[in-house]
Amino acid sequence: MTETTSTIVPAYLGCLDVPLTIHKRRWRSVFVTIYCSRAFQSFFPSVSDNNGFKLDQKTLTQLVKDKRLDRLQELGGFEGVASALKTDAAHGVCSNAEDVAHRLEAFGSNTYKIAAAKRFFHFVWEACQDLTIFILIGCAALSLALGIREHGLREGWSDGGSIFLAVILVISVSAISNYRQYREFDKLSKVGSNLQIEAVRNGKSQQISTFDIVVGDVICLKIGDQVPADGLLLEGYSLEVDESSMTGESDHVEINQSQNPFLFSGTKVVNGYAQMLVTSVGMNTTWGEMMSQISSDTSEQTPLQARIRGLASSIGIVGLLVALSNLIVSKIYYFTGNTKDKHGKKEFNGSRTKVNHIIMAMIGMVGTAVTIVVAAIPEGLPVAMTITFCYAMKRMMADKAMVRKLSACEIMGSATTICTDKTGTLTMNQMKVAKFWIGEKPVEEAYSSISSRLLSLIQEGVAMNTTGCASRHISGSGFEFSGSPTEKAILSWASLELNMDMERLKNNSVIQDVEAFNSHRKRSGILIKRKIDNTMQVHWKGAAEVILAMCTSYHNASGELKDMDDDAKKILEHIIQGMAASSLRCIALAHKEVSAEEQVDPEHKTLLKDNGLTLLGLVGLKDPCRPGLKKAVEDCQHAGVNIKMITGDNIFTAKSIATECGILKPEQDTISEAVIEGEQFQNYTPEERMQKVDNIRVMARSSPSDKLLMVQCLKQKGHVVAVTGDGTNDAPALKEADVGLSMGMQGTEVAKESSDIVIMDDNFASVATVLMWGRCVYNNIQKFIQFQLTVNVAALVINFVAAVSASKVPLTAVQLLWVNLIMDTLGALALATDKPTKELMENPPVSRTEPLITNIMWRNLLPQALYQIAVVLTLRFRGNTIFGVDDKVQDTLIFNTFVLCQVFNEFNARKLEKKNVFKGLLTNKIFLGIIALIIILQLVMVELLNKYADTERLNWGQWGVCLGIGAISWPLGWVVKCLPVPQKPIVSYLEVKIYKNSS
């Protein structure tokens, strides 16, 4: 590099070889100095300061990305990198705003540039792809052409132009609804990605947002965490990560300081715990590069939406067939001389009829067919679906449930079984030490009576064998505790009651090896070396019966060491069962002093001694049930949903909690195998599992694989299964379930990503609320389908009968579009905003195979449709005589009566089965406001927009008659709901008949 520089500089100086003044010499000296400094900087970029830091971002990124151990050593190892980033590995960075801002400026923020969001016009284009829109556009074009041909441009554009306007309105409403839904999902995803993680700043552990992480931060990782940035392992034990999101390989990768200390953003911790030094954040990480190329797709179509769109298309096709039939019949009538003009003469007289008259007659027939098609197409159905889901998502978020997958809303309404965790879901997850036993005697308040040696061992075991932390508050008064609820409860008890000094105990020992707690082994262990005498100590902590099986001796209340014979073991087992029966979680502490040789296997790997231990004590943790839990469980059971508790606690604790919250009834306790253990369930044959799975109410000492097996068995038996989970190992069960419900507060990121809905407050009552919302969504959509089909059936039959019998339709295309679009869009909003009621929990779950249009809906809609058909056709053929009005006013009466029938029928649609349709009406102000708006808009249509709506003004008496006819829908609806309906769907009768005929 030096030679290159020396050849470059003289080349530039050669051109300056002329007589120079002193000023010119100084100028040349400055030029050479600047050039040389820039040349040297270009060869040594890594040693130049980066806003005061000794390492630049490129060096840090390549260090981790390429896993360069040699480069790490060149930079001074972990201490060298930490020093270059102005970080204390033990105390972390300073948390003052100035230092954080300086790091943000130098290395960027921990946020990602996402792909461009979909714009509004994307949803406009999507809305235009609908089949019904194509049909309407075709109808509008035909109507426009026919109108101009018949009446000229000035008068003839109104019908076709109005249909085009209606099409634009349909597209706009649909696009706006879908765009709002997209924005809502985007907002929810941002909430979901704003995670909290534990960081060490100013020597204190604290929770910070992942968005606030900066380069140089020291981050604490535990099982289930998602690594929030790229970095290096500072210290950790048994650390394994799942890098499948980065590499696609499912094998877990071991992370250690000697061979592989590199951690990547987006990977998941599956075992162990650690502290990492952040070296890259945001777009400078490998995960950031991947995320920038991914756009989240929120255009998911749920099964119900697919069925609705299929229904709308089918109705549209029926309308086309009816319109085609009408066109054929009309032509036959016309060409056979069966149609007459307004003077009573035949319209077609063979060769004497002018071609122009024939063309005009054909145009009229096509116009009538277009009107029938418009009457048939249910434009409001897709819009109603979008509005319903959008409203439900927003309301569920307010009720502490964040929807990650739209289909989960509707599937939850069909749930027949909920498999729930205990801790944090049924209980408050606020652990507190309620009992402590040493040997065979309980220790109440007098902890000072414990022998000093035994007390020291207990303090050492609690302080060292934990993933939590106990530190004095910055003010000096009181303690701050971090970790899981169980860890915090034990640390709090040891610090406050046993006077444990955690910092001193940690400084007195060196950790040699760790076995992190996991849900399979239900224990954690640690091997430490005391600095004072270099002795090796093993401490174990875990489920009482698991630790007890590892012990051969125990300390009595006086601190004396005693052998654990069979009698002593039975007494201790009885104590554990007694605590469990009192709804206490029982944790055991055990210890052994070992020689260094005992801890190394033939392959020179460190092993934790897990036999021949001495029991130090039994700790009973109380976790109270959540308020209102029993009522929520009863509501679910009353709604035909089975609740099964799946927990890692022992069988006595599980049975006690299940009985307390109502999952297990006193009489069920005696039923064989209503309460089982996970191992017992695993040992069943597949046939035995299928036979007994329905009767199981509680599964204790279960592992995640037991939960997965339970879900699979239930699904095979035809159940729709919802599962709650919070741990990393719950991910398979959450994915396998029909609806996965993760916990927002205690749940790991792996669990949340595997779930469909996140319960933000970890409360089972919120799970019951989600169940109610799922049923509400389905129920609201059924209400609207009933309302919409009543309109479509009535309008289709009215126009077809009138067209065939009188060659003229009573409802114009514009009027029908007004009814179908404006009323039904507003009607969808009115019916979609009905909130969940307790009545929904009185019915059994909706079967997935149940028809979308039930017998109850057919019973409700057909009489209303027949009533409207009878009224409108009576007005059509006898209106002039009855009211003594001309044709124009008669057509307006028909239109106004038809619309008001829909307004009154919308009240009937509020309740599919209940006769009292006004119950809870005053609490739904949106519904009342929309009804008032529809009536006002109808007034405008009839009284002001006469030219475009083809109407005449009505007097007060005529308005009263229209209102009276519409109001008859209420008593008719009450009478109809008294009629019984068969349980077997009507469609099934048709299928049987078709099958018999085909066979």
Q: How much is the mean pLDDT over the chain?
A: 81
Please state, in angstroms and as integers, the Cα–Cα distance from residue 976 to each residue in 40, 791, 910, following that order: 93, 17, 15
Query: What's the confidence (pLDDT) of residue 741?
Result: 92
pLDDT tens readout for residues 96-141: 888 888 898 889 888 877 656 678 888 888 778 776 677 678 777 8
DSSP 332-343: HHHHTT--B-TT
Listed residue (173, 371, 312, 373) closest to 814, CA to CA: 371
Calculate the CA 211 to chain-centre distance. Answer: 21
Please state, in angstroms and as integers, the Cα–Cα distance from residue 286 to each residue in 56, 221, 231, 281, 897, following that order: 17, 19, 11, 9, 66
pLDDT tens readout for residues 392-444: 888 888 888 888 887 888 888 889 999 998 887 888 878 899 999 998 888 87
Question: Would the pLDDT of 29 be above 60?
Answer: no
DSSP 882-902: HH---HHHHHHHHHHHHHHHH
Instruction: Write out the two tokens for 988.
Output: 């099934």
Question: Would the pLDDT of 554 be above 90?
Answer: yes
Calculate the CA 760 to chain-centre distance. Answer: 10
Listed residue (214, 287, 284, 291) closest to 60, CA to CA: 284
DSSP run (H or E) holding 99: helix 97-107
Question: Would the pLDDT of 668 be above 60?
Answer: yes
What letter would DSSP give residue 498?
A: S
| Residue 729 pLDDT level (bands cut at 50, 70, 90) | low
Q: Dihedrals φ, ψ of 657, to 5°? A: -65, -40
Listed residue (803, 794, 802, 799) closest to 823, CA to CA: 794
Calculate the CA 344 to chain-centre distance. Answer: 67
Instruction: Write out the two tokens for 241.
Output: 């990560």
Dist. CA 241–CA 230, nearest whole Å: 13
Dist. CA 80–CA 634, nearest whole Å: 61
- Three-class SS state of 227: coil
| Residue 233 pLDDT level (bands cut at 50, 70, 90) | very high
pLDDT tens readout for residues 951-996: 889 999 999 999 999 999 999 999 999 988 887 776 555 444 433 4
Dist. CA 901–CA 965, nearest whole Å: 7
Calculate the CA 983 to chain-centre distance. Answer: 34
| Catalytic residue (one of 159, 399, 421, 891) | 421
pLDDT tens readout for residues 591-627: 999 886 665 554 545 567 888 999 999 999 998 888 8
Which range has the worst mean pLDDT, 81-90, 380-389, 660-669, 969-978? 380-389
Rounded to an integer, the average pLDDT of 50-66 is 84
Listed residue (417, 425, 413, 414) closest to 772, CA to CA: 413
pLDDT tens readout for residues 180-205: 767 766 766 666 566 778 898 888 88
Instruction: Write out the two tokens for 872.
Output: 């409108």
Name the CA radius of gyration of the chain, rounded.
38
Listed residue (547, 431, 447) closest to 490, CA to CA: 431
- Three-class SS state of 848: coil
Query: What's the confidence (pLDDT) of residue 36?
Result: 53
Rounded to an integer, the average pLDDT of 807-822 is 72
The residue whose two tokens read 């130049």 is 48
pLDDT tens readout for residues 14-23: 333 334 344 4
Beta bridge partner(s), residue 209: 196
Higher pLDDT, 703 or 709: 709
Rounded to an integer, the average pLDDT of 353-379 is 72
Beta bridge partner(s), residue 618: 437, 588
Listed residue (949, 977, 805, 962) closest to 868, CA to CA: 962
Query: What's the confidence (pLDDT) of residue 598?
Result: 63
Q: For the purposes of burial, counting CB atoms within 10 Å of the CB of 604, is it exposed (0-12), middle (13-18) or buried (19 or more)?
A: exposed
Listed residue (405, 291, 427) closest to 745, CA to CA: 427
Dist. CA 183–CA 117, nearest whole Å: 9
Per-residue 3-state assignment (H helix, E strand, C coil) for 49-69? CECCECCCHHHHHHHHHCCCH
- Three-class SS state of 613: strand
Q: Are 246 and 266 in contact (CB under 8 A)?
A: yes
Q: Are 426 and 626 in contact (CB under 8 A)?
A: yes
Dist. CA 704–CA 660, nearest whole Å: 24
pLDDT tens readout for residues 754-807: 888 989 888 888 888 999 999 998 888 889 889 888 888 888 888 788 877 766
Query: What's the confidence (pLDDT) of residue 720?
Result: 92
Query: What's the confidence (pLDDT) of residue 24?
Result: 47
Question: Would the pLDDT of 517 be above 90?
Answer: no
Higher pLDDT, 899 or 246: 899
pLDDT tens readout for residues 892-916: 999 999 999 999 999 999 998 888 9
Ramachandran sector of residue 621 (left: φ over 0; alpha: ψ -120 to 50; beta: rest) = beta
Dist. CA 41–CA 19, nearest whole Å: 32
Dist. CA 391–CA 180, nearest whole Å: 10
Query: What's the confidence (pLDDT) of residue 605?
Result: 53
Which range has the worst mean pLDDT, 65-74, 235-244, 498-507? 235-244
Query: What's the confidence (pLDDT) of residue 898?
Result: 92
Listed residue (248, 245, 253) closest to 272, CA to CA: 253
Instruction: Say if strands 268-280 and 218-221 run parallel, antiparallel, or are unpaired.
Output: antiparallel
Q: Are 741 and 767 in contact (CB under 8 A)?
A: yes
- For residue 945, give the amino acid letter: L
Query: What's the confidence (pLDDT) of residue 818?
Result: 78
Task: Please count the other Cβ atoms lying within 10 Å of the Cβ belonging to residue 120.
Answer: 12
Query: What's the confidence (pLDDT) of residue 245?
Result: 64
Query: What's the confidence (pLDDT) of residue 365?
Result: 76
Listed residue (515, 583, 517, 585) closest to 545, CA to CA: 585
Dist. CA 762–CA 427, nearest whole Å: 9
| Residue 266 pLDDT level (bands cut at 50, 70, 90) | confident
Listed residue (512, 414, 507, 499) closest to 450, CA to CA: 499
Residues 6+ apart with CB under 8 A from 989: none
The highest-confidence range among 331-340, 465-474, 522-531, by mean pLDDT, is 522-531
Instruction: State what percent of residues in the chain have pLDDT above 90.
Output: 25
Question: What separation, in Å, do the N-terminal and C-terminal C-alpha atoms of the chain show?
Answer: 92
Query: What's the confidence (pLDDT) of residue 278?
Result: 94
Residues 6+ apart with CB under 8 A from 640: 416, 843, 844, 845
Listed residue (636, 706, 678) closest to 417, CA to CA: 636
Residue 341 annotated to the active site: no
Instruction: Say if strands 721-725 and 698-700 run parallel, antiparallel, or are unpaired.
Output: unpaired
Dist. CA 331–CA 362, nearest whole Å: 8
What letter would DSSP give residue 727?
A: S
Instruction: Write out the two tokens for 672.
Output: 């064989």
Listed residue (827, 420, 459) closest to 642, CA to CA: 420
Residues 6+ apart with CB under 8 A from 751: 224, 725, 726, 727, 728, 730, 731, 734, 742, 743
Which range has the worst mean pLDDT, 223-227, 288-292, 352-356? 288-292
Beta bridge partner(s), residue 278: 231
258-275 burial: b if 16+ Cβ within 10 Å, else e: eeebbbbbbbbbbbbbbb
Task: Please count the other Cβ atoms lying within 10 Å of the Cβ belonging to residue 456.
Answer: 14
Listed residue (234, 210, 238, 209) closest to 222, CA to CA: 238
- For residue 7, give the amino acid letter: T
Rounded to an integer, the average pLDDT of 667-684 is 81
Angle of CA points 172, 178, 180, to nearest 5°: 100
